[in-house]
Amino acid sequence: MYFDTHAHLDLEPLCDTEEQVVRCAREAGVSRIVTIGIHPDSSENAVGIAHRHAGVYAAVGLHPHGASHFSDSILARLEELSRCDKVVGIGETGLDFFRDRSPREAQRNAFREQIRLARRRNLPVIVHDRIAHGEILSILAEENAAEVGGIIHCFSGDYEMACKAIGMNFLISIPGAITYKGSEAQAEAVRKIPLENLLIETDCPFLAPLPHRGKTNEPAFVPLVARKIAEIKGLAPEDVGRVTTLSALRIFRIPAEEEVRVSYRIRNSLYLNITNRCTNACVFCAKRDDFHVKGHYLKLPGEPTVEEVLAEAGDPTRYDEIVFCGFGEPLLRLEDVKAIAKVLKAKGAKVRVNTDGLANLVHGRNILPELAGLVDALSVSLNAPDAETYSRICPNRYGPASFPAILDFLREAPRHVPSVVATAVALPDLDHDAVRRLAESIEGVAFRLRPFAEVG
């Protein structure tokens, strides 16, 4: 469930109890760890540890503290080590202008050479950054690090820096320090950054999260980092673990074995993915690039039957709500939605349907009375304040008839469904307030603005 993307298992005292540390991590739900080299001997030790344990990988590099010792022979040794099949990154490298244990020019040179090594080996760069935010970003840009991407480890910057790094194909890794007082800037960045751009780490044996601060950190504590991020973002720790694990597998080029999800859990809601077909071809739709939602893979090989969906749902009272929402328009399967909802409601479920609001147009009749008593809530994707904007961002074969149909659907819906919410994706060039005013002008309809570039 969890992936500790930055550990130092070769350092004392962790190296003295290596087997126990890895075992405790697994018992805590940490299935994968990258142990990070900080100089050639440390990197060789990291490779050895990775070979001794399934689910443990290594990165090889020279820490900026040791940059004064950098040489062609060290670079050659790191390159040789990087050819091991369990090496998934180059680093830890970067700049440390806080300790300044190596001359700054030596740090810059070692950093640049290791980025070049990463590009030769097609491996991500694992970046150490202390009091050097601007220069880190400049060197990454000058050395074309975006070609391989990487990780800003133990992130200590702000949201602006994070956005620039993400724009260069880097992920932002959050350590246990996020649980400390004084981490407000990092917490604000976590709040604003899509979860898909975040990783979690311990940096053990350092930076143990609360309530272990001051003690030896270890990979078993990384779920505490996930718990804090979940608290900040209004998710479950399991959501954070699942999404950050998928992102880590991708950035480290580790193959992921994935099962297509018909039912999938986010927070304490169970979502039902019953079709990938859509009425619209929205310009912002995430499935244009990817079929994952909060770490769940939703590209269906075929549409599940009513019986298969009900079997997946199981006991619906375990969840706050059951939501018809996958990577498609559920009301295209209207009869099946009604059949599934009827059974779930009889078992005591609260049922919500996320829809584009075009079902009446598609089916050629007012379908809302058919949902009465079966659906407790509708979330309707309004997305625009007028027909012209809607046709631009949500094109479909119904053309100019679409937007009036959505408005009619919203006006009618509160007569049959207790809770109706119109939503809009917060596109940068969209007049959000105009959409809100339109939605709230309809009696019985509330409004919610959905984050742009973050699904689920």
Position 53 in a domain:
yes
Q: How many CB atoms lie within 10 A of CB 430?
A: 19
- pLDDT tens digits for 308-324? 999 999 999 999 999 99
In a shared domain, residues 216 and 305: no
Q: Does residue 437 share a domain with residue 390?
A: yes
The DSSP line for 81-127 is: HTTSTTEEEEEEEEEETTT--S-HHHHHHHHHHHHHHHHHHT--EEE
Boundary-marking domain end, from 231, 251, 271: 251
Q: pLDDT digits over 185-211, tens only?
A: 999 999 999 999 999 999 999 999 999
Give the pLDDT confidence score for residue 21 in this predicted structure.
Answer: 98
- Predicted local confidence at residue 258, as pLDDT: 79
pLDDT given at position 364: 97
Domain assignment present for 256? no
Distance of alpha carbon 178 from its chain centroid, rounded? Answer: 17
CB 125 within 8 A of CB 95: no
CATH (domain of 398):
3.20.20.70
Length of the chain in terms of residues written: 456
Average predicted confidence (pLDDT) for the chain: 96
Rounded Cα distance, 397 and 410, in Å:
20
CATH number at residue 97: 3.20.20.140
User: 198-200 and 170-174: which strand pairing?
Assistant: parallel
pLDDT digits (tens, 9 = 90+) for 148-157: 999 999 999 9
Q: Are residues 186 and 124 in the same domain?
A: yes
Angle formed by the axes of helices 334-346 and 306-313, nearest 10°: 40
Residue at token pair 């975006």:
146
pLDDT of residue 270: 97
Whether 235 is in a domain gets the answer yes
**Cβ contact 360:408 at 8 Å:** yes
Q: Where does residue 101 fall: left (phi above 0), alpha (psi -120 to 50 degrees), or beta otherwise? A: alpha
244 and 268 belong to one structural domain: no
Domain end residue (candidates: 223, 251, 279): 251
Residue 192 shares a structural domain with residue 274: no
Confidence class of residue 454 from pLDDT cuts 50, 70 and 90?
Answer: confident
Q: Could you report the per-residue pLDDT of 385-411, keeping only the tens digit for each? A: 999 999 999 999 999 999 999 999 999
Residues 284 and 330 in one domain: yes
Domain annotation covers residue 168? yes
Q: Of 219, 177, 201, 172, which Cα lies nearest the Cα of 49?
A: 219
Q: Residue 257: is its pLDDT beyond 90?
A: no
Q: What pLDDT digit, counting tens, does each position of 43-75 carry? A: 999 999 999 999 999 999 999 999 999 999 999
User: Is the pLDDT at 33 greater than 90, yes or no?
Assistant: yes
Instruction: State phi, psi for 149 to the nearest 5 degrees.
Output: 70, -170
Instruction: Determine what percent of the chain is predicted with pLDDT higher than 90.
Output: 94
Residue 97 falls inside a structural domain = yes
What's the pLDDT tens digit per position in 320-377? Answer: 999 999 889 999 999 999 999 999 999 999 999 999 999 999 999 999 999 999 999 9
By the 8 A CB rule, do 38 and 93 touch?
Answer: no
Same domain, yes or no: 213 and 314: no
Give me the number of domains the chain comprises. 2
Of 202, 230, 251, the residue that ends a domain is: 251
Question: What pLDDT does residue 218 have?
Answer: 98
pLDDT at residue 23, as a whole number: 97
- Helices then strands, counting H and E runs in the chain, come out as 16, 17
pLDDT the model gives residue 450: 93
For residues 199 and 338, membership in a common domain is answered with: no
* Amino acid (one-letter) located at 21: V
Q: Token match 């760069």: residue?
A: 125
Per-residue CA distances from 264 to 133, 271, 292, 450 (Å):
38, 5, 11, 20
Residues 155 and 233 in one domain: yes
Q: Is the pLDDT of residue 183 over 80?
A: yes
Whether residue 247 sits in one domain with residue 158: yes
Between residues 290 and 4, the one the model is more confident about: 4
Residue 174 has pLDDT above 90, yes or no: yes
Q: What's the pLDDT at 453?
A: 77
Residue 74 lies in a domain: yes
- State residue 205's pLDDT score: 98
The model's confidence at residue 438, banded by pLDDT at 50, 70 and 90, is: very high
In this structure, are 315 and 236 located in the same domain?
Answer: no
Distance CA 325, CA 356 (A): 11
Neighbours of 314 (CB within 10 A): 12
For residue 257, tell me if it sits in a domain. no
Q: Is the pLDDT of residue 83 over 90?
A: yes
DSSP track, 320-383: SEEEE-SSS-GGGGHHHHHHHHHHHHHTT--EEEEE-S-HHHHHTS--HHHHTTT-SEEEEE--
Question: Strands 125-130 and 269-272, how do they pair?
Answer: unpaired
Q: Are 152 and 170 within 8 A, CB to CB?
A: yes
Question: Same domain, yes or no, for 315 and 166?
Answer: no
For 204, which DSSP code?
Answer: B
Residue ranges making up the domain that contains 13: 2-251
- 158, two tokens: 């702000």
* DSSP result, 308-328: HHHHHH--GGGSSEEEE-SSS
Please check whether residue 258 lies inside any domain of the structure: no
Note whether 239 and 42 are within 8 A (CB): no
